[in-house]
């Protein structure tokens, strides 16, 4: 059994780091959760969820 979303975030981090390495970029010091927040725009998602799916927080 997978513990939460840890495997998902680890895969995102590994993919991001691998693609940066192939590009010759310096390794990223972002954690998996910081990386997710940087590129998924969680505040905007919450606003969209409230507007279009009537999600209540």
- Does this model's pTM top 0.75? no
In a domain, 10, yes or no: no
| Domain total of the chain | 1
Please tell me the total number of residues recorded for the chain in this structure. 57
What are the tens digits of pLDDT across the range 25-47?
987 888 888 988 888 888 888 88
In a domain, 27, yes or no: no
Pick the closest to residue 46 from 35, 37, 15, 1 (CA basis).
37
**Cα 51 versus chain centre, distance:** 22
In a domain, 36, yes or no: yes
CB 57 within 8 A of CB 46: yes
In a domain, 14, yes or no: no
In a domain, 19, yes or no: no
In a domain, 20, yes or no: no
Q: The domain containing residue 38 runs over which residues?
A: 32-57
């Amino acid at each position: 059994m997978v513990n939460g979303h840890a495997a998902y975030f680890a895969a995102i981090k590994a993919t991001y780091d691998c693609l940066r390495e192939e590009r010759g970029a310096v390794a990223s010091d972002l954690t998996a959760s910081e990386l997710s927040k940087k590129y998924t725009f969680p505040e905007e998602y919450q606003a969209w969820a409230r507007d279009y799916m009537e999600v209540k927080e």
